[in-house]
Amino acid sequence: MNLQKLLRLVWQSIRRSKRDFLFSSVGIIIGISTLLFFTSLGTGIKETVLERVFVVRQLEVIKKTYDVGAFQSEGLFGAKKLDDSLIEKLDKVEGVRSVYPKMKLTFPTGAFGGKQLIGKDVRGELVADGLPAELISDEEVDPSLEVVFKDYEAISCKQKSDCPKAYTCGDKGVCVGEPCQARRGEESAACEGAAYCHSERKQCMIPIPVVASPKMLEIYNGSIHTALSGSSGALSKLPKLSKNALVGFEANALFGRSFFLGESAGGQQDVRRIRLVGFSDKAIDLGATFPIGYVKRLNAIHSGREEAGREYHAVVVETESNEVTAAVAQKIEDMGYALSDKFENAQRASLLILLITVIFNLISAIILAVAAVNIMHTFLMLILERRRELGLLRALGATRAQIRMLVLSEATALGLIGGSLGITVGFVATKAVDAIFNSQVQDFPFKPDTLFGFAPWMFLMCLGAALFFCWIGALLPAIRASRIDPAAALTGR
């Protein structure tokens, strides 16, 4: 029996018993649609949680500490330092893509500004850390700004043309701001380009470039703005903010003094202008991130300790993939260092999402198993009805293997049709849920544009599951059909 004849017989069987095939396909359609729905839902939630909220591939290495009552201790001999030698060691670990240090400001710092946004200045605490400037890509910084994310106070030079506007080449081979004089409110007009005139130093200075985390914007638009909208104060009129509206925003940072914590141990104070130049996932979650060169110098000056500018507070290790993260984490712990709570939280979230997805997929598998039983019953009934036809085929020379192939081919057709319809129904259901979610659910932090994540393997898996359960259901009827005795079938015995 060639392929063309086989397909013709399958098509005739489906046309003749289309009602039975239709009822048999219902279970397959429901099972496959739920399988696609819950698999894509689990993938979408996992992408949101593990790529935006908890970034699994980024491990934050910190000093190992021990709980001593209500306090934490680094042990009798102190914890291992986080310095450049550690970065070199981590960079050689298998599975590590990149390593970069983070350093926090270790002295009280305040900030005031905001008149451009709300019409008056607001004072508060400034939480900040530093990152290597090369980690912030050009795509994360607004290219239209004159100020980019780099350390302007560490630009080496041989002549004035090597320096930005309003800067000249100093005696130490580093660019320094040109002398200036300006009254209050005229600082920007006194210097060229993006520089301003520092009132105390009497020299032009480019604002310290900072980047912020998009998470901070998500939290403001999703929670803080909603809370402020219900108040009666002036802040209740604040609009939702976008990245484009905030890039270029300037404020003043008061280094060495906090509005709540007092003065720094070093006793020195300085007011510097800072400018938001972009948003980056590598930035501190709540606060501002500076080029790390600024943080090193500021810590050495205002903390009163020279070593404060040499030791890091954390080292971030980015792995090549989520699959190798656990192995890299174990190697880091074997080296005598600890990981921040973010890694454990990410592991818990990943496990919870996996368990929920598995449970729902088991429900889909149960539906498909019931559908397979129904298919078995349908095919057994069809074989009973077509007993004379199958006996005639055997009498005309059809082998038992060809009879089994005929029944399994009918099951294959049922699987392809039912699986395709199930995938279509499941996909349409995801779009409907997304539409309801986006229209009815209010904004909240990290609200995704879609709850679902799709990949080509999901559709292939669903189609394969449909074929598998149809074959399972048709296997016993196919064997029984191949064992029909031609003489008994044709004589009706």
My answer on whether 285 and 431 are in the same domain is no
Residue-level pLDDT at 433 = 92
Q: What are phi and psi of 118, to 5 degrees?
A: -115, 5
My answer on whether 400 and 466 are in the same domain is yes
Q: At 146, list the tokens.
A: 């004159």
Does 317 reside within a domain?
A: no
My answer on whether 242 and 107 are in the same domain is yes
Does 327 reside within a domain?
A: no
My answer on whether 479 and 419 are in the same domain is yes
Residue-level pLDDT at 151 = 93
Given 305, 324, 359, which residue is the final one in a domain?
305
My answer on whether 292 and 233 are in the same domain is yes
- Kindly give, in sequence order, each residue whose CB lies less than 8 Å from that of residue 339, ignoring residues fewer than 6 positions away: 59, 60, 61, 62, 329, 332, 333
Residue-level pLDDT at 443 = 64
Coil, strand or helix: which one is 442?
coil
CA distance linking residue 256 with residue 258, whole number of Å: 7
Given 305, 338, 357, which residue is the final one in a domain?
305
Residue-level pLDDT at 234 = 57
Does 234 reside within a domain?
A: yes
My answer on whether 229 and 354 are in the same domain is no
Residue-level pLDDT at 230 = 59
Number of domains present in the structure of the chain? 2
Residue-level pLDDT at 209 = 94
My answer on whether 390 and 249 are in the same domain is no
What does R_g of the chain's alpha carbons equal in angstroms?
34
My answer on whether 108 and 235 are in the same domain is yes
- Kindly give, in sequence order, each residue whose CB lies less than 8 Å from that of residue 393, ignoring residues fewer than 6 positions away: 402, 403, 406
Does 325 reside within a domain?
A: no
Amino acid at 292: I
Does 403 reside within a domain?
A: yes
Does 125 reside within a domain?
A: yes
Does 448 reside within a domain?
A: yes
Coil, strand or helix: which one is 127?
coil
Given 247, 270, 305, which residue is the final one in a domain?
305
- Block means of pLDDT (10 residues each) for the chain, length 493 residues? 69 74 82 89 77 70 67 55 87 89 89 77 87 83 80 92 91 91 75 87 92 83 67 63 84 86 75 91 88 90 69 87 82 86 72 79 84 80 74 77 84 88 93 89 70 90 90 85 72 62
Q: At 344, list the tokens.
A: 């454990």
My answer on whether 8 and 115 are in the same domain is no
**Is residue 262 within 8 Å of 248, Cβ to Cβ?**
no
CA distance linking residue 314 with residue 299, whole number of Å: 15
CB environment 207-241: b (16+ within 10 A), e (fewer): bbbbbbbbbbbbbbbbeebeeeeeeeeeeeeeeee
My answer on whether 35 and 107 are in the same domain is no
Counting Cβ atoms within 10 Å, is residue 396 exposed (0-12), middle (13-18) or buried (19+)? Answer: exposed
Domain that holds residue 230: 99-147+207-305
CA distance linking residue 91 with residue 143, whole number of Å: 31
My answer on whether 141 and 235 are in the same domain is yes
CB atoms within 10 A of CB 343: 21
Helix (H) or strand (E) holding 432: helix 400-440
- In 3D space, the residue among 376, 347, 354 whose CA is nearest the CA of residue 481 turns out to be 376
pTM above 0.75, yes or no: no
**Is residue 142 within 8 Å of 336, Cβ to Cβ?**
no
First to last CA, the chain: 27
Does 103 reside within a domain?
A: yes
CB environment 269-279: b (16+ within 10 A), e (fewer): beebbbbbbbb
My answer on whether 355 and 300 are in the same domain is no
**246 vs 54, 130, 226, 329, CA distance in Å?**
25, 20, 19, 36
